Amino acid sequence: MGKELIACPGCGKLVEVGKLVCPHCGMNIQTGESFETKVQRARGRRGRAERLGGRLAAAVVFVLVLLFLGGFLYQRRAEKVFENKPQEFAGYLMLMEQIDSLAAAGMTAEARAAGESLIKELNDRESRIVIEAAPTTYEARDTKRVPKSVRRAEKSLLRNLARKVEYKLSMLSVKPAQP
């Protein structure tokens, strides 16, 4: 007795009963799905993964561009603050250099005292900068109005300078007094 044969639903040729795929056309005998459909479905899955990867890469690039742009705008505002008040910030920078020279000379207690007073002065100045309050009519008429973005940049610069001084003070090692 020979093997049992059935007709392929795709091409109509005879195929053995136990076979899952027609050797002539590639159609799945049980599901009726062709080989080309499987290939297209597999490509579709890979395409979705590629699209997801592309979207993820685009999102990362977008975030990096935003960070770069934000840093650029911050730098421009910081330069404007330095242009408007060069003598005030130059004084703070000179005090920071003085703290460095005191620390290098081994005078850590004096450097620490100078640093703490500079931090207090920077924090006091930052707290005096008002961003949201509207000026009275007399203040608006008598003084030049500084844009909010410049005031925010000035506050940020003062905070950053204070943090830098705090870091320098944390790096100082206080030597015990010798008898």
User: Last residue of a domain, which of 72, 101, 127?
Assistant: 72
Mean pLDDT of the chain: 78
Mean pLDDT over 122-128 rounds to 88
> Which domain does 117 fall in, by range?
85-179
Cα Rg of the chain (Å, integer): 37
Q: Tens of pLDDT along 72-87?
A: 887 787 777 777 777 7
- Count of structural domains, the chain: 2
Q: Are residues 125 and 53 in the same domain?
A: no
pLDDT-derived band at 104, boundaries 50, 70, 90: confident
Residue 63 pLDDT: 93
Tell me if 100 sits within 8 A of 118, measured CB to CB: no
Task: Establish if 79 belongs to a structural domain.
Answer: no
* Its pTM surpasses 0.75: no
Q: Which of 152, 162, 164, 163 is nearest to 78 (CA)?
A: 152
